[in-house]
Amino acid sequence: MKVALSRLLGGMLLVAGCCIGAGMLALPVLTGLAGFVPSTIALFIAWGFMIFTALLLVEINGWFTGKVNLLSMVGASLGRTGRQICWVSYLFLFYALLVAYTAASGSILSSVGSNFFGAALPPAVCSLGFALFFGVIVYFGTRPVDLINRWLMVGLIVSYLAMVALGLPKIEPSQLLYSKPSAAFLALPVLVISFGFHNIIPSLTHYMHGDLQSVRRAILGGSLLALFIYLLWTLFVLGIVPEPMLEEAYQNGEEATVSVQKILGSSVIGSFAQSFAFFAIVTSFLAQGLSLVHFIADGLKATSKSHRENGWIALCAIAPPAVLAIVYPALFFKALNFAGGICAVILFAILPILMSWIGRYKKKISSPYVAFGGKLLLVIAFAFALLIITREVIRIFQF
């Protein structure tokens, strides 16, 4: 029982850790345009939607024996075309996320230089230095990334707890009364990617020795923890930063802690806010950068024989996002919207729904665990996913 509980707790933390990252920095800016109450409703809707599709993947995982990955699950269920769509969506997702993180690093590091050293380098220069320095760490492989990431996670947790604890008394309750429900839809793509842990479900199933009920509990517990942290974070930012400043931050591609720091100045809370933003960006960049390197290497059958990654593959993973972020420094929100509104919805919603429909009702495949909901709920979820994608495509091309 002790081992089972330990694994369950570890699984919950793994799910929560996959959810909480640099996308959290964009949440209050986007949800703030709608107001606290509408954004809270949108958070619960996104959480419910992503939990449903995650549990579909748990059911689908039960169709297979042994360890599988999302790519192989899609290939077995939807054939070669489905596998190709999964491959391309994965690639675009990681690239979009790295573009967002590199772009955000420029404004954060530039602001840090201005506040602490009295001289700010241009954001483009800061983004380039960020990509070069941490790109080299990614090149040196999993072990260095793991060791550095542990210390960064300590910094992330400490700065977040200190910032929120010191900042809650600064909240202006009147600012939480602002409401513009029509703007809530703008945040949905980022809300989706903020609950995007689905790619680890096969590994989580293997970790739980195939106990799908334990996987389900880990998903519910971990995602609820992430939901609570998001709600507290949204309350904190929206209670401190007025809506006009959040609108300005959105237009300039600045993440939430920049606005918090502008309001509070160089106070202790503002410093913790900047530290939190930096740690969130770096930990996400290292994790997603390493994942992209491994994904490209696996796809091209070019696995490194040493402890380091292949230099040219690491360059292919880090350089294109860095160039885009430097040329278009306001890409933070646009890249996250693209990642969440298109890539993540295809990978973590459209494909699981299609796989579930075909497996349940066409191939009549049974699983030890069956997610709740029948045909009607699958149709509703599929329609909601298409709505998010359509809205994002319209926004991108400005129809």
> Is 35 in a helix, a strand, or coil?
strand
| Residue extents of the structural domains in the chain | 2-397
Report pLDDT digits (tens) over 363-388.
Answer: 888 888 888 888 999 999 999 999 99
**pTM confidence score:** 0.82
Report pLDDT digits (tens) over 90-140.
Answer: 888 888 888 888 888 887 787 777 666 666 678 888 888 889 998 888 888
- What is the per-residue pLDDT for 244? 87
| Integer Cα distance of 28 and 45 in angstroms | 16
Q: Is 221 exposed, middle or buried (0-12, 13-18, 19+ CB in 10 A)?
A: middle
Report pLDDT digits (tens) over 1-47.
Answer: 444 777 788 788 878 877 877 677 788 888 888 889 999 999 999 99
- What is the per-residue pLDDT for 1? 41
- What is the per-residue pLDDT for 24? 79
| Position 112, amino acid | V
Does the pLDDT value for residue 306 go beyond 70?
A: no
Class at the top of the CATH hierarchy for domain 2-397: mainly alpha
Instruction: Identify the CA nearest to 354 among candidates 90, 93, 78, 73.
Output: 78
Does the pLDDT value for residue 199 go beyond 90?
A: no
- What is the per-residue pLDDT for 303? 60
Instruction: Identify the CA nearest to 9 among candidates 284, 288, 233, 225.
Output: 225
Q: What is the mean pLDDT of the chain?
A: 83
Report pLDDT digits (tens) over 127-173.
Answer: 888 899 988 888 887 778 778 877 888 888 888 888 888 888 888 88
Asked if 107 and 255 touch (Cβ cutoff 8 Å), the reply is yes
